[in-house]
Amino acid sequence: MTLYIRFTSKNLKHLLYFLIFITLGCKKQPLQNKTEKVKRTVLIYVAGNNNLRSDALQSLNKIEMGAKDIDGNVIVFIKTNSKTSVLLKIKYDNTSHIVSDTIKIYTDQNSSDPKFLSQVIEDSRLLSPADSYGLVMWSHATSWSPALLKTKSFGSDDNREMDILDFKNAIPSDFEYIMFDACSMGSMEVIYELKDKAKYLLVSPSEVLSSSFPYNTILPLLFRDEVDLRNVCRHFIDYYDSLSGAHSSATVSLVRTSELNLLGSLTKTLLDSNKLSNKINTSNLQRLDFDITTRVAAYDFLSFLNQNFDNSKITLITSQLDKAILYKGHTKTFLNIPIKEFCDISIYLTKEKDYLLAYYMQLSWYKAGGWNNLF
């Protein structure tokens, strides 16, 4: 199931160049414990050993183009084949060539292994210690989807993916932000699971096209404050707004995680007091999963509230949503399907005898948000 929609053909020239680059290497530097501390290090984790490999290389090229006048270091982990992967310290370059320094080479490790992700994060911090850290996760993704489906939470490396609970346990809890350049990670289930891992989450509740974020324009903004994270979102939407047809497809949300606990408790109070049994109205709900192969339905959270509760009962929740969501944006259509409602976050509606329920019950949102009271 390919949720990361592809509209570009494979760029064999870039792929060949990158394979030569991996073999010969740029300037290699030994892993060292003593490195000058910078203001911020941003690790961009590109799991591209799948049908997105050419897109991964194009994103890498855009990252180099955007690396001018940044206040810190960009470290990119990239894997596009089964044999090797590398850690790069990004250097500014406005050509189609890859000029960044290779600072570590890995062999055989699977990029969807949570233990390996932990190692890469540790290596990036050892090589580029900083006062603050940002994390960008680039690959396929399917929200919170569990192992019993053919695809699940994040990544795709030799048909292996990383469960969202494993991902949470693999990463530290001190990120300034985590940004997902990946499909469907703007679900309530995902952001609530990761609320204690970063101050901000920059996510898309729908799919993300393989043309990705415009790193050539947004990269310097990833080294600034909250206001500029909003601008990252604006650049993303503006970029896709400028395209036509099915290419003009994007949704994005910037979440302040410190507001999610109260959002969960308010939702739980609502559902504790107003059990819906099996009378949930889903017929007219705004869907935020637009790929027909999607196996985990994603409904707009506010659309669900508006169609199933009186306005007087959801006022506190909508007010708290406004505090939690610092930016929300979308194109007018997604894959030529109109977006009529968009609150910023998607949710899954569990039901009795749901074959996903046993796994869903393990997620923090299930009890914290009162989702166990849906039936």
The answer to whether residue 344 is domain-embedded is: no
Do 288 and 180 fall into the same domain?
Answer: no
Predicted pLDDT at 351 = 78
Residues 166 and 303 in one domain: no
For residue 262, give the nearest of 371, 369, 373, 372 by alpha carbon. Answer: 369
Examine residue 7 and state whether it is found in any structural domain, yes or no: no
User: 31-49: per-residue pLDDT in tens?
Assistant: 444 578 999 999 999 999 9
Quick one: 244 and 280 in the same domain? no
Residue 156 and residue 55 share a domain: yes
> Domain boundary residue among 216, 238, 258?
258
55-71 residue pLDDT tens: 999 999 999 999 998 99
- The verdict on 205 and 305 lying in the same domain is no
294 Cβ contact list (under 8 Å, min separation 6): 1, 3, 142, 184
* 149 inside domain: yes
- pLDDT, tens digit, for every residue of 286-326? 999 998 777 788 999 999 999 999 999 999 999 999 999 99
Q: What is the pLDDT of residue 150?
A: 64
Angle, vertex CA 348, rays to CA 342 and CA 350, nearest 5: 145
Residue 242 and residue 297 share a domain: no
**Residues 274 and 152 both lie in one domain:** no
- 334 versus 24: the higher-pLDDT residue is 334
Q: By mean pLDDT, which of 23-27, 117-121, 197-201 is the weakest?
A: 23-27
pLDDT reading at 88 higher than 70: yes
Residue 153 has pLDDT above 70, yes or no: yes
121 has pLDDT over 50: yes
Pairwise pLDDT comparison (150 vs 338), residue with the higher score: 338
- Does the residue 1 lie in any domain? no
pLDDT value, residue 47: 93
Judge residue 357's burial from the number of C-beta atoms within 10 Å of its C-beta, 0-12 exposed, 13-18 middle, 19 or more buried. Answer: middle
Residue 339 lies in a domain: no
The answer as to whether 201 is a domain residue is: yes
Average pLDDT rounded to a whole number, residues 96-122 = 95
Per-residue model confidence (pLDDT) at position 30: 46
**Listed residues 227, 258, 289: the one ending a domain:** 258
Predicted pLDDT of residue 292: 77
- pLDDT at position 20 is 39
Measure Cα distances from 86 to 44, 107, 264, 266 in Å.
Answer: 12, 9, 39, 45
3-state SS of 316-345?
Answer: HHHHHHHHHEEEEEECCEECCEECCCCCCC
Residues 238, 318 within the same domain:
no
Q: Which residues contact 15 (CB under 8 A, 6 or more apart)?
A: 53, 54, 57, 80
Phi, psi of 105 (to 5 degrees): -120, 135
- Paired residues of 153 in beta bridges: none
Q: How many domains does the chain have?
A: 2
Copy the structure tokens of residue 33.
Answer: 């414990």
Is the pLDDT at 149 greater than 90, yes or no?
A: no
- Asked if residues 180 and 203 have their Cβ atoms less than 8 Å apart, the reply is yes
- Are residue 82 and residue 214 in the same domain, yes or no? yes
Amino acid found at 215: Y
Listed residue (245, 244, 232) closest to 329, CA to CA: 232
Residue 195 sits in the same domain as residue 85: yes
- Verify that 154 and 166 share a domain, yes or no: yes
Give yes or no: residues 145 and 234 share one domain.
yes
Q: What is the pLDDT of residues 226-285, one digit of tens each?
A: 779 999 999 999 999 999 999 999 999 999 999 999 999 999 999 998 876 557 878 889
What's residue 151's pLDDT? Answer: 65
Domain extent for 231: 13-27+37-258
Query: Does some domain include residue 197?
Result: yes
Cβ contacts of residue 322 below 8 Å, gap of 6+?
none
The CA distance from 72 to 25, in Å, is 23
Are residues 243 and 333 in contact, defined by beta-carbon separation less than 8 angstroms?
A: no
Question: Would 209 be classed as within a structural domain?
Answer: yes
Instruction: Summarize pLDDT for 171-228 with one digit per residue, the tens.
Output: 999 999 999 999 999 999 999 999 999 999 999 999 999 999 999 999 999 998 877 9
pLDDT at 10 (0 to 100): 36
pLDDT by residue (tens digit) across 316-370? 999 999 999 999 999 999 999 999 988 889 999 987 788 889 999 999 999 999 9
Of 238, 258, 278, the residue that ends a domain is 258
CATH of the domain at 221: 3.40.50.11970
**Backbone dihedral angles phi then psi of residue 78, each to the nearest 5 degrees:** -140, 135
- Tally of CB atoms within 10 A around 28: 11
Q: What is the pLDDT of residue 375?
A: 66
What is the average pLDDT across 21-33? 44
